Structure 1
Amino acid sequence: MSWEPRPVPEPNPETERYWAAAASGELLVRECLDCGLVYHYPRSLCPDCFSENVEWREASGGGEVYSYSIARAISGWPEADLPLVLAYVELDDGPRLMTNVDADPEDVEIGTRVDVRFVDTDASDVAVPVFTPVDD
């Protein structure tokens, strides 16, 4: 799977550490030190209690497919990367994140165990986490 010509995420002050970690092969989530919520997408306030007392935490990278859909045609997407498995993956660490599962659609179902891997982009400080099925 190549990334370009797909849009490359643009880091902002709340997400730049997340994208830099991904470029180094680490998947980060946020944890609220007040209420204990572990969450994704990165933001500086806890989405549950609105505390600013949050910190970065490295996720294990493992999880399972919570929900998914198959995209068979996407304007501008590389033909070689279709069909595309779009999914919510529930991380073993708790939060769910929207992502791609790099697999044949026939190999994916709800509950499929997956592990993270990172696809490089033309931007040296950005890699995109995607997931691949693992054998149990």
Structure 2
Amino acid sequence: MSAVRYDLPETDDFTRPYWDAAAEGRLLLRRCGECGRAHHYPREFCPFCWAGEDRVMWEPASGRATLYTWSVIHRNDLPPFGTRVPYVAAVVDLAEGPRMMTEVVDCDASALRIGAELELTFREAGGFAVAVFRLAPA
């Protein structure tokens, strides 16, 4: 019996554009045509003004973000995280406005600072491309 993968998404017709774009190296956001605000994670309605799906559209993100906060995870017993420790769990502010939970990769955690400029990259996870971030070049 294989272990449950807690890091893999459940996809459906609504989220398929998001995951297809990720496989191409693009991050999509949802933007409301009623109030104009972008949000992430993808929802069929606007979480700010409750406009319905017909008013909320997909749009590409720039891939730029700033580090809001982070934590270095040294122990995680859920598969497959235990084999990846230590890793940096983070919350970032996307340039388009939404705040996103993610991971910061390819750097020593001691180099991280609140407000650090980040750039989008992707990590493979069980056949999915997952949006993560790394420090942007100076």
Matched-pair contact (CA < 8 Å) for 2:92–2:99: yes
Q: 1:6 to 1:37 in 2, by over 3 A?
A: same
Unpaired segments ≥5 residues, structure 1? none
Q: How large is the Cα RMSD of the aligned pairs? A: 1.5
- One-letter code aligned to 1:40: H
Q: Distance in 2 between matches of 1:86 and 1:121?
A: 16
Percent identity among equivalent residues?
A: 37
Aligned to 1:58: 60
Paired residues of 1:65 and 1:110 also in contact (CA < 8 A): yes
- Give the aligned partner of residue 10 of structure 2: 10
State TM-score, norm by structure 1: 0.87
Letter paired with 2:111:
D
Q: Give the alignment partner of residue 84 of structure 1, picking from 84, 87, 95.
A: 87
**TM-score (normalizing by structure 2):** 0.86
Q: What is the aligned length?
A: 129
8 Å contact 1:83–1:105 — kept in the other structure? no
- 2:82 paired with 1:99: no
Q: Does 1:68 find its partner at 2:77? A: no
SS at match of 2:14: coil
Give 1:6 shift: 6.0
Q: 2:124 aligns with which of 110, 120, 124?
A: 120
1:121 deviation in Å? 3.0
Match of 1:40 in 2: 40
- Other structure's SS at 1:13 match: coil
Letter of the structure 1 residue corresponding to residue 29 of structure 2: V
Q: Any stretches of 5+ residues in structure 2 without a counterpart?
A: none
Cα distance in structure 1, aligned partners of 2:12 and 2:103: 22
- Greater relative CO, 1 or 2 (CA 8 Å, sep 6+): 1
